[in-house]
Amino acid sequence: MGTIGDVGEFGLIARLTRRLPQGPDVRLGPGDDAAVISAPDGRVVATTDLLVEGRHFRRDWSGPYDIGRKAAAQNLADVVAMGARPTALLVGFAAPPDTEAGWAERLYDGLADECRVAGASVAGGDVVGAPGITLAITALGDLGGAAPLTRSGARPGDVVAVRGRLGHAAAGLALLTGGRDGPAELIAAHRRPEPPYAAGEEARSHGATALLDVSDGLVQDLGHLAGASGVRIEIDSSAVPVPAILGPDGLLHALTGGEDHAFAGTFPPDAVLPSSWTVIGTAREGAGVRVDGREPPTGAWDHFPT
């Protein structure tokens, strides 16, 4: 199939474009200077993220298809966390010229398939040569006439609930770092998160006052919500879902591990939540996050560690 350098920029773009079926929100897809995407609401929810080889993924740990699924998922989850319906992705792809063209095609297969799960499409982007692989993803979404769900709406007395897996990706990363090959379920969770995309609509329909994507760790992300809302979040560790497969460090993984892209939100105290949501605490007057009344454990993701 040749390398990216053999195929050339325009040849590669043509091959990748053929792998990207378009959904109804994309009025004009790849092939022109820009895409045209419908915005029925009149407002567009937009988010962007970077994935850098060696920092956010390793090619000896993850194949191109899983990297594509992960890159799409983490951006689509941010759109859902605003209470919006994902509509489109724009993809910036930088790679060394000796990268196999087939590797790039599988990457785009992963991007496209994750978009299908969320009801979105890859609408376009750019391809450039670079010393290492970097993905720059922009995700767009539509609010459908509703107000966005933000981090700043929590009120004292609200309950705190989560939807989705916690700690699985972190446990999988620990296994890979330690040179282990199982449990396979945890390693798969690190390679390919599975955000519960229905969470945004569920949260809205049950009166959510605040919502966010758990990407950097439950405690750290709830700290962002607490700060934006001017409340203190009290977590009951016994209520945090910790399946046995997470092992002896399961609670630590669930509290501090990121990249599962679960969702955490606050709801009125009288809200009756579906069984897919687990109440883990309450919002109180004050500031910060406490676990069982104490300072929470550390270890969440830091993009600029010292």
Q: Is 194 assigned a ligand-binding role in the annotation?
A: no
Q: Is 277 assigned a ligand-binding role in the annotation?
A: no
Q: Is 259 assigned a ligand-binding role in the annotation?
A: yes
Q: Is 33 assigned a ligand-binding role in the annotation?
A: yes
Q: Is 197 assigned a ligand-binding role in the annotation?
A: no
Beta strands in the chain (DSSP E): 26-28, 36-37, 45-52, 85-95, 121-129, 134-142, 159-163, 210-214, 232-235, 262-267, 278-284, 288-291
Residue 223 CA from chain centroid, whole number: 18
SS3 196: coil
Give the whole-angstrom CA distance, residue 53 versus residue 163. Answer: 29
Q: Is 260 assigned a ligand-binding role in the annotation?
A: no
Q: Is 47 assigned a ligand-binding role in the annotation?
A: yes
CB-CB contact of 99 with 237 (8 Å): no
Q: Is 108 assigned a ligand-binding role in the annotation?
A: yes
Sequence-separated (6 or more) residues with CB below 8 Å from residue 93: 104, 107, 125, 126, 127, 128, 133, 134, 135, 136
Q: Is 49 assigned a ligand-binding role in the annotation?
A: yes
Q: What is the number of other CB atoms lying within 10 angstroms of the CB of residue 171?
A: 26
Give the whole-angstrom CA distance, residue 305 versus residue 286. Answer: 28
Q: Is 126 assigned a ligand-binding role in the annotation?
A: yes
Fill in the DSSP letter of residue 2.
-
The CA-based angle 209-213-216, given to 5 degrees, is 130
Give the whole-angstrom CA distance, residue 205 versus residue 186. Answer: 31
Q: Is 48 assigned a ligand-binding role in the annotation?
A: yes
Tell me the chain's radius of gyration from C-alpha atoms. Answer: 20
Pairing of strands 85-95, 45-52: unpaired
**For the chain, how many residues are written?**
306
Annotated binding site: 33, 47-49, 56, 78, 108, 125-126, 151, 213, 215-216, 259, 301
Annotated binding site for ATP: 108, 125-126, 151, 215
Annotated binding site for Mg(2+): 33, 47-49, 78, 126, 213, 216
Annotated binding site for substrate: 56, 259, 301
